[in-house]
């Protein structure tokens, strides 16, 4: 079987697949059209997020038996169409779930203790102790929306705290010893912290909007290490301004797929994009922590993601 690798990954991925007898080619730079022109020669592809695997691409891939995505989600693949063609889909949420859980916890503790704000102040010569008095996580209720690999990983990190952990998921029976599954009504009534751990689907697009936010009984903190398009940024900002949301840790943004760097260009070049007013507020807010989609992006997870893909290919095709 021949496999085409479309993104660079940990070297063990190709090395171990070679050892298993697969033929591995790499193409990290050709256009999507160029890859489509030769994809019929391959039995499998391994990709991260370089481009979308759509109907046109899949129609060209006449011999394709599997797609391996080195990541947690499959939203850049037309999964329904791929399955009609008998293509086996492989993802690797097991590979970076621990990293995501640690990142979510780190963001939450940083927000509670104003670490990013205090750090900048000390660096600029300000020693403001009372203004940086933090709050404690113990005694609060943490709510997880989505309780698959990532939600479970975060709940495990919370076991060392005296907190109640609730989860809400469209699937029944996903709760366990680390999180009690409840209805959305009960979830919105009790939680002090909301952490998103959902994939990008039609159900989760724009899920966190004004109506959803206002359904919560208490002001809450928001952590999003899932997908940026699950949160309506303008509605988030309105809630931050009103105090309905007390602070936010955002590893993902709805703007990140639209040439994020171009938002910061000050010239009149064709690549420059006008800075959205809501995002301007986020980058200036002291109760908002931003990271560049790196929650699952650790030295260890790079290796574990690759190993998970190898193990799943081996289990299916060897």
Based on the residue annotation, tell me whether 48 is a catalytic residue of this protein: no
Write out the E strands in the chain.
Answer: 2-5, 23-26, 44-47, 66-69, 88-90, 141-145, 164-168, 180-181, 193-196, 220-224, 245-250, 288-290
Name the residue with tokens 């260890």: 300
Based on the residue annotation, tell me whether 227 is a catalytic residue of this protein: yes
CB neighbours of residue 254 within 10 Å: 21
User: What residues pair up with 131 in beta bridges, in sequence order?
Assistant: none
List the catalytic residue out of 69, 97, 140, 227.
227
C-alpha span between 254 and 224 (Å, rounded): 11
Q: Are 191 and 166 spatial neighbours (Cβ–Cβ below 8 Å)? A: yes
C-alpha span between 243 and 132 (Å, rounded): 18
DSSP character string of 184-195: HHHHHHH-SEEE
C-alpha span between 102 and 156 (Å, rounded): 10
List the catalytic residue out of 256, 261, 284, 303.
256
CB under 8 Å to 278, separation ≥6 — which residues?
233, 234, 236, 237
C-alpha span between 170 and 212 (Å, rounded): 15
Closest CA to 229 of 262, 257, 187, 259: 257
Phi-psi region of 163 (alpha: psi -120 to 50; beta: other; left: phi over 0): beta
User: Up-side HSE of residue 9: CA atoms within 13 Å toward CB?
Assistant: 36
Catalytic residue IDs? 227, 256
């Amino acid at each position: 079987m021949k496999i085409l690798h479309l993104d660079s990954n940990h070297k063990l991925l190709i090395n171990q697949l070679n050892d298993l007898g697969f033929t591995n080619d790499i193409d990290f730079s050709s256009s999507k059209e160029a890859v489509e022109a030769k994809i019929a020669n391959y039995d499998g592809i391994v990709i991260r997020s370089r481009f979308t695997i759509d109907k046109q691409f899949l129609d060209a891939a006449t011999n394709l038996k599997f797609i391996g995505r080195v990541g947690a989600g499959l939203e850049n693949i037309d999964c329904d169409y791929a399955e009609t063609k008998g293509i086996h889909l492989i993802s690797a949420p097991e590979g970076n779930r621990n990293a995501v859980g640690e990142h979510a916890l780190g963001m939450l503790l940083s927000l509670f203790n104003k670490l990013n704000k205090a750090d900048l102040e000390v660096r600029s010569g300000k020693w403001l102790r009372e203004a940086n008095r933090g709050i404690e996580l113990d005694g609060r209720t943490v709510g997880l929306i989505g309780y698959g690999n990532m939600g479970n990983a975060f709940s495990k990190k919370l076991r060392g705290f005296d907190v109640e952990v609730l989860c809400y998921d469209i699937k029944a029976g996903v709760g366990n010893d680390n999180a009690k599954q409840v209805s959305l009504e009960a979830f919105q009534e009790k939680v002090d912290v909301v952490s998103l751990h959902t994939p990008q689907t039609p159900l989760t697009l724009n899920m966190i909007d004004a109506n959803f936010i206002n359904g919560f009984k208490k002001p809450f903190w928001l952590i999003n290490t899932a997908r940026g398009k699950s949160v309506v940024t303008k509605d988030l900002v309105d809630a931050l301004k009103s105090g309905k949301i007390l602070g936010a840790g955002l590893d993902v943004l709805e703007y990140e797929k639209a040439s994020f760097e171009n938002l910061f260009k000050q010239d009149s070049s064709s690549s420059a994009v006008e800075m959205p007013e809501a995002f301007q507020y986020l980058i200036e807010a002291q109760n908002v922590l931003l990271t560049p989609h790196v929650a699952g992006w650790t030295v260890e997870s790079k290796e574990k993601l690759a190993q998970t893909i190898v193990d799943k290919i081996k289990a299916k095709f060897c």
